[in-house]
Amino acid sequence: MTGMTVSRSPISLHRLAGPSRGVMLTAALLGSTLMPAAASADEPDYCPDRPGIGTPACTLEPGRASVEIGMGDWTLDKDRQERQDVFEAAELLVRYGVARHAEIQVGWTAFGWSRTRDRMTGDVEHRSGSGDATFALRRNLLNPDGSGLSIAVMPYISLPVGRQPIGDSDWAAGARVPLSYELSDKWSLVTTSQFDAAVDEDGDGRHFAFDEVVGASLKIGEALSATAEYEVTADHDPQGHSVAHVSGLSLGWQPTKDLQIDAGANAGLDRDAPDLELYFGLSRRF
């Protein structure tokens, strides 16, 4: 809301007599000053998907959009046989509020590059490409601004527009159930449960996978927040079942109410998980 406009028509001012005119002009000026402040105070805080492992339960207001970009992401995964480094850039997520409790999402990784070195022979393989396109609907069930106890359901589907190792080479689908609970004005608990029809490792067919993320978020100041998370993934791939454990720490800084800059790190806790991931990015609400 841009506020009230005070009429400056000579006829309108002429019809107002002495003290009455002064009182009404003062009231109008105060109204034009206070109304934008009230609208700003009523607007929900910006709640990007980035950073972190889990997914927030909040949704955007109707007609508002959020563009979130992973500027850089490096993942290291090594064992006795080989070492693989994967770099991703321009990881894009666009969110749009379609109702007070619902938003739609489109995600895509524009570019990725991998380097795999055989630790026995020293041979190196390089591969590059783009990622798959993901489409999702997030339907909030309680408190769409993320306050108090907030919960949502989020079905999604990914289409194989990319190629391995950045894309999966086949379609996949699943659903997430994010939940958050504010313990105080500084501390919040966050969880995300995910059920997937994940693509097989050979890129042909699908299998069941389950993922659970639990964490705690701390609001350090008016603009800075930190989140610590733990993730466990049970993957029932036909070529070998695995259970991976990962810990993560991320920071989000919002210098303005519609802009966030973030960075994070994830560390694998067992041999089935990637050893290390470092990333940074930014988000902007429109």
End-to-end C-alpha distance for the chain, whole angstroms: 15
Question: Using one digit for the tens of pLDDT, what is the confidence trace for 23-81?
Answer: 333 344 334 333 433 344 578 899 999 999 999 999 999 999 999 999 999 999 999 89
Q: How far is the C-alpha of 179 from the C-alpha of 138, rounded, in Å?
A: 12
Answer for the pair 224, 237: CB distance below 8 angstroms, yes or no: no
Query: In Å, how far from its chain's centre is CA 228?
Result: 15
Answer for the pair 224, 251: CB distance below 8 angstroms, yes or no: yes
Contacts of 125 (CB under 8 A, 6+ apart): 115, 116, 117
Question: Using one digit for the tens of pLDDT, what is the confidence trace for 166-210?
Answer: 888 899 999 999 999 999 999 999 999 999 999 998 888 899 999
The residue among 64, 162, 56 whose CA lies nearest residue 112 is 162
Take residue 252 and report the two structure tokens written for it.
């989000």
Kindly give the pairing relationship between strand 149-159 and strand 259-268. Answer: unpaired
pLDDT interval class at 109 (50, 70, 90):
very high
Is the whole-model pTM more than 0.85? no
Q: How far is the C-alpha of 76 from the C-alpha of 276, rounded, in Å?
A: 5
Superfamily (CATH) of domain 46-285: monomeric porin ompg (2.40.160.40)
Q: Is the pLDDT of residue 152 over 60?
A: yes
DSSP element (H, E) containing 14: helix 10-14
Write out the residue limits of the CATH 2.40.160.40 domain(s) in the chain.
46-285
pLDDT interval class at 2 (50, 70, 90):
very low
Cα→Cα distances 256→62, 193, 222, 251, Å? 20, 31, 10, 15
Q: Is the peptide bond before 56 cis (omega within 30 degrees of 0)?
A: no
Question: If you average pLDDT over residues 237-249, what whole number do you get?
Answer: 94
Residue 223 has a CB neighbour count (10 Å cut-off) of 14
DSSP letter at 121? T
